[in-house]
Structure 1
Amino acid sequence: MLGLRSMLSRLTIRSQAFYQPVQCIHVSEVDLKARKGTREKREKLKKKNKTAKLTTITKVGFIPRNKLHLKKVDKHLTNDWKAEPTDDAFPGRYYRWPLFKVSDAIRFHKENLDPTMWNALDSPLNMSVEMDMMGDKPTRMISNFQKLVVIKHPFEHGQERTILVFAKEEENRSNAIRAGATTVGGPDLIKSALKGNIRFADYQFILAHPDIMPEMLALRGLLKKKFPSAKNETLGMNLYELVMKFMNGLFISGRRDEFQENFGIVNTSIGSLNMPTEQLIENFNAILTTVNGQRPNRPGKFITRVHLTTPLSNEKFKIDPADFPFADYVRPGQVPTLPQKKAKKGQEKPTFVRNYQLFRTPV
């Protein structure tokens, strides 16, 4: 009997453990009405926030110029589509720019700054060269460059030069000093430089004579790109001419435009207006020839426009491309021809001739 009672008690305990009471779900009209009110309130709040966003003014921070969506104008555009002027006086906005020879442009600037006019013949004559910086491929652009132009007729260009010269013989050192070098020395100067007594950053150019190059090898790690070499034209036998070249030479730099990669410009001075016209023309030709040396291996124009200006005048004279001092001169209207390609085996020889336009056509 006791065993039966304990069995029944265990069964009752298990029923309490396994069976949970059922909860009732209340679905009534009052609950639905309450939910309907919350939905309406939520929709009204959304509309209110939307109108508030439209009326509020959001502050915008500084936007760089390269990220502004401005209307871009191609700087290579020309006004060749305009009519040619038929008179000496004409509105410039309706006619194309006239082309001038270098000698005529210099003469006009001298007449404008004559003592009877502005009386400023000592002002510099500036030159701007516009270039197409596209390289061998349309996706490749010419990088910025800096060149030293050897001009035949030096002038006050305002560029300070500090030159360090190394030479073993006393005669070569005296020639460098006579030419105007800042510091000149021999093996003793090399030993002093190795001890750290000379700061190479204070010198723009470091020149040397070939007889001291074995001792100069110890400075290769310190000089790096400034180490004298024939490739950089900083190593030579005649130190007097070498120093004079770097003292009187003119530095020009070609820079690509910040917003148009295929447009580059060189701004420099070719002399002062009180110099003879022939000397100014020779300096002009030397600078333009150096710029044209950066021309890539592709057909088409490289130097697109050249202007001559002065600081005191607003006159800007566009130089005729036929007056450029290049050996590969092609007159306007003349079409050059390229040699025909060799035909492969089993193919007929091509009968066409490829034509292209060189940079010597009018711009």
Structure 2
Amino acid sequence: MPKNWNEFLARTPEDDVWIRTYYPKPMFQFSQCIEMHREFAAPEMSNNMNGLVCLEALLDLTSKKKTKFLGNITGTICLPHFFDDGTENRIVAFCKTAEDKKIAEDMGATYVGGMELVKALEKGEIHHEDYNHVLCTLDMLVDVATIRKHLKDFFPNKAKGTLSDDMEEMMNHFIRGKTYLSTKDSDAVGRLEINIGTLAMTTEQLSDNFNAYVAMISEHRAPNLGPFITEAYVTCPPSTERFKVSPVELVPQGRSSNEGKGKKPSAAEVEEEEDGNLAAAN
């Protein structure tokens, strides 16, 4: 190392080749990340032009209180541009009318029914691993409340978008939706890995999906606390390349009225909403 190595490493590389270990990781616009992955995925390279585009994000779980941290976040989002990533949404749909049952069945619900379906879950004929969403029409809420302890976090709620008189809207959201769930590196740092789309999609479509995710994920934390997503990398397995996204793109530029639907509310919001729903149903 040269004598003034601190000054040496503080320089911005002028060439397109440098010792990466000694310099800050370069950052790119999301669209640039996609174009670079396309170069690696070209037929003469890895031949992976239909590969999944993934985002690895780090989350700031701190709050106003130094000793209090956010829990893991989860939600279901309908992206602007649908793609098949091999995941399956298995839905339990509680409803009474023949019309609602037909809608749920035609749109691909795994289990559909009224009291007979309630009893099946109560008896353990259907297990938690058999479904990942539970939807319910308002006329079934009182009956479904009898297995509230069994359903636990899956208990239907308006705030989560899983309780409504519009079965078609619920099914459309959760059958097409992508569900995300973060993990924790530490109390203050969360990690989220999500699929954005495929390289076969246009850069504009992938950017739309990326921005939709950023907007919804950011809603899990108060804006006045600063950016929720602190770092993000775009990957495209099996390539080992990880391109860092510029922090400017990790802050939502604006939200539409439909963004955030299906986002998991706080425990207090859920409890208050559920009690109100049950009181109205009775």
Give the TM-score normalised by the residue count of structure 1: 0.61
Q: Deviations over 1:136-183 (max 9, x none)?
A: 222222222222232222323333332111222212111111111011
Q: In the alignment, is the contact (CA less than 8 A) between 1:129 and 1:267 conserved in 2?
A: yes
Higher relative contact order (CA 8 A, sep 6+): 2
**Aligned counterparts, 1:279-298, within 5 A:** 279-296=205-222
Structure 2 letter corresponding to 1:89 = V
Pair 1:97 & 2:3 matched: no
Residue 192 of structure 2 aligns to a residue whose secondary structure is: strand
Pair 1:207 & 2:135 matched: yes
Which residue in the other structure is 1:350 paired with?
none
Which residue in the other structure is 2:43 paired with?
115
Q: In the alignment, is the contact (CA less than 8 A) between 2:227 and 2:251 conserved in 1?
A: no
Which residue in the other structure is 2:175 paired with?
247
| C-alpha distance in structure 1 between counterparts of 2:161 and 2:74, whole Å | 14
Which residue in the other structure is 2:228 paired with?
302
Q: In the alignment, is the contact (CA less than 8 A) between 2:227 and 2:250 conserved in 1?
A: no
Deviates more, 1:309-318 or 1:183-192: 183-192
| C-alpha distance in structure 2 between counterparts of 1:174 and 1:129, whole Å | 39
**Aligned counterparts, 1:190-339, within 5 A:** 190=118, 196=123, 198-201=125-128, 202-257=130-185, 260-296=186-222, 299-324=225-250, 326-327=252-253
Residue 93 of structure 1 aligns to a residue whose secondary structure is: helix
What displacement does 1:221 show? 4.7
Task: Evaluate the alpha carbon distance shift between residue 218 and residue 125 of structure 1 in structure 2; reply closer, same or farther with a 3 A threshold.
Answer: same
Q: Deviations over 1:36-92 (max 9, x none)?
A: xxxxxxxxxxxxxxxxxxxxxxxxxxxxxxxxxxxxxxxxxxxxx833222333332
What displacement does 1:188 show? 4.5
Q: Deviations over 1:286-307 (max 9, x none)?
A: 2222221222475444322111
Residue 148 of structure 1 aligns to a residue whose secondary structure is: strand
Q: In the alignment, is the contact (CA less than 8 A) between 2:232 and 2:244 conserved in 1?
A: yes
| C-alpha distance in structure 2 between counterparts of 1:221 and 1:274, whole Å | 44
Residue 246 of structure 1 aligns to a residue whose secondary structure is: helix
Q: In the alignment, is the contact (CA less than 8 A) between 1:84 and 1:96 conserved in 2?
A: no
Q: In the alignment, is the contact (CA less than 8 A) between 1:102 and 1:319 conserved in 2?
A: yes
Q: In the alignment, is the contact (CA less than 8 A) between 2:63 and 2:225 conserved in 1?
A: no
Structure (1 or 2) with the larger CA radius of gyration: 1
Q: In the alignment, is the contact (CA less than 8 A) between 2:230 and 2:250 conserved in 1?
A: no
Q: Deviations over 1:172-197 (max 9, x none)?
A: 11111111101111344446656x37
Deviates more, 1:168-177 or 1:300-309: 300-309
Pair 1:154 & 2:76 matched: no
Q: Alignment length, in residue pairs?
A: 246
Which residue in the other structure is 2:99 paired with?
171
| C-alpha distance in structure 2 between counterparts of 1:271 and 1:327, whole Å | 21
Unmatched 5+ stretches in structure 2: 1-8, 255-282
Identity rate, percent? 31
| C-alpha distance in structure 1 between counterparts of 2:162 and 2:150, whole Å | 16
Greater helix share, structure number? 2
Deviates more, 1:182-191 or 1:310-319: 182-191
Structure 1 letter corresponding to 2:16 = D
What displacement does 1:239 show? 1.7
Which residue in the other structure is 1:24 paired with?
none
Task: Evaluate the alpha carbon distance shift between residue 188 and residue 294 of structure 1 in structure 2; reply closer, same or farther with a 3 A threshold.
Answer: closer
| C-alpha distance in structure 2 between counterparts of 1:137 and 1:232, whole Å | 26
Structure 2 letter corresponding to 1:138 = K
Structure 2 letter corresponding to 1:131 = L
Task: Evaluate the alpha carbon distance shift between residue 191 and residue 125 of structure 1 in structure 2; reply closer, same or farther with a 3 A threshold.
Answer: closer
Q: In the alignment, is the contact (CA less than 8 A) between 2:218 and 2:227 conserved in 1?
A: no
Q: In the alignment, is the contact (CA less than 8 A) between 1:180 and 1:244 conserved in 2?
A: no
Q: In the alignment, is the contact (CA less than 8 A) between 1:99 and 1:317 conserved in 2?
A: yes
Which residue in the other structure is 2:63 paired with?
135
Structure 1 letter corresponding to 2:22 = Y
Task: Evaluate the alpha carbon distance shift between residue 193 and residue 319 of structure 1 in structure 2; reply closer, same or farther with a 3 A threshold.
Answer: closer
| C-alpha distance in structure 2 between counterparts of 1:103 and 1:306, whole Å | 14
Q: In the alignment, is the contact (CA less than 8 A) between 1:83 and 1:96 conserved in 2?
A: no
What displacement does 1:277 show? 1.6
| C-alpha distance in structure 1 between counterparts of 2:180 and 2:210, whole Å | 12
